Structure 1
Amino acid sequence: MKKFRGIFLKNEKEIAKMRIANGMVSRILDALGEAIKPGISTMFLEEVTQDICHKMNVKPAFQGYYGFPYALCCSVNETVVHGFPSKDRILKEGDIVSCDMGVCYEGFYGDSARTFLVGEVSQEAKDLCRVTEESLHYGIAAAKIGNTLYDISAAVQRHAEKNGLKVIRNFVGHGIGSSLHEKPEVPNFVPKGGANVPLQEGMVLAIEPMLAIGTYEVTILSDKWTANTKDGSLAAHFEHSVAIRSDGPEILSLSSNYSGAY
């Protein structure tokens, strides 16, 4: 594995393993999307995730990571990221729920997230999810050789703000490979200063816009994980693991069974 400015560049064999890992993640997210409906608990989604991981004989990436207790981050409505599944949190008509999931396969990680609609939701919630997912794909389109890391950031931020949404700034995307989080950080906004780098073949980036209707500020709850918007406004989260290739970006976590949350 080569390095460029401290960033691990993956070879074909390593990317092939990450393609398998991310394929597993996408299948789990497909199953969660089918399971989500009014009346179920978010803990049921954790149980679905654990069951599929067991059947695939693969390790959930998040469980135990810095003490996180679950395989699934399950974030409802105003929760941006890192929500705990709970038997007491029952999904209701009109909710939106972000599911963030990762696995480790033969020493390499996959990581992806989607926000799902629960039954019939407001137009505001639909637009939030649509623009967040579109922002992800604008960022991915910019993830090509000849561009820099902050070209990805600018593409996400431009589309989000053009549509009146706020970019969460406390959390960013990241490199991914034999570790769940590697260099570089991938912000969803263009920071002042920071370590901008040219994109190189073999980089693999987890690009993950998190957008909110109200403020970009967040509050961390007493569990030290759950991050809510400070004003209680709705937030959405979409993520793909993307390899930088000579012929353009390759989405490793793409699913043929998923056509969009909206």
Structure 2
Amino acid sequence: MFPQGPAADPAGSHGELRIRTFHPRRGRVTAAQADAINRLWPRWGVDIDGRPLDLAALFHSNTSGTPLPVVVEIGFGMGDATARMAADDPATGILAVDVHTPGQGNLLHLAERNGLSNIRVANGDAVILFRDMLPPACLAGLRVYFPDPWPKARHHKRRLIQPDFIRLAVSRLASGAVVHCATDWEPYAEQMLEVLSAEPELINQYDDGYAPRPDFRPMTKFERQGIDKGHVVRDLIFTRR
């Protein structure tokens, strides 16, 4: 369907023995999303295939030609919030990672429609991205908004925010880089706070607790649905030493 689009398994990741935090999802793709993937993936798409990534070549300012500072966002859904944050902060590059094909197409469509040249859409496993493709201290931030909470106890090991992943991610963050997580699942928020607080290279910007909801993180449809169900949304904002 997408001869030059996102690969079904870009890194051959079926050969890895570790537990997955996600399942690849194709889903129903609209005509507009399919058109955006077919036209824009060669220019703005990145398959997470394990090969080192040149962020300076991937992100550069249209005005000065100098590389943009880059944040990685893991799990962007349909991309509406990502697009709004990119529009509000054109001086920052966003490498947005997901495995949901309709969302990938939608974010590419939004980026083109709104002239957002500071977005790149990455397809695949974020662990492989951080482990094999990014050099140390290259990122200005990490955003993880409303990741799958895997609520059943036997599935907690599938949650993304675990000590091993945070240790890996922090090694790719520059000093002063910001780690921002958000969830509407209270037990997961507690785990996030525990894991992030235990990482010695991170400093909680709000003493030992949760952050107030920041204005720069757009309200999403998913977040509104959680609030309507009585869920409490927690933000956690930490800085790399």
TM-score surpassing 0.5? no
Q: Normalising to structure 2: TM-score of the pair?
A: 0.29
User: Which structure shows the bigger proportion of residues in strand conformation?
Assistant: 1
User: Which structure shows the bigger proportion of residues in helix conformation?
Assistant: 2
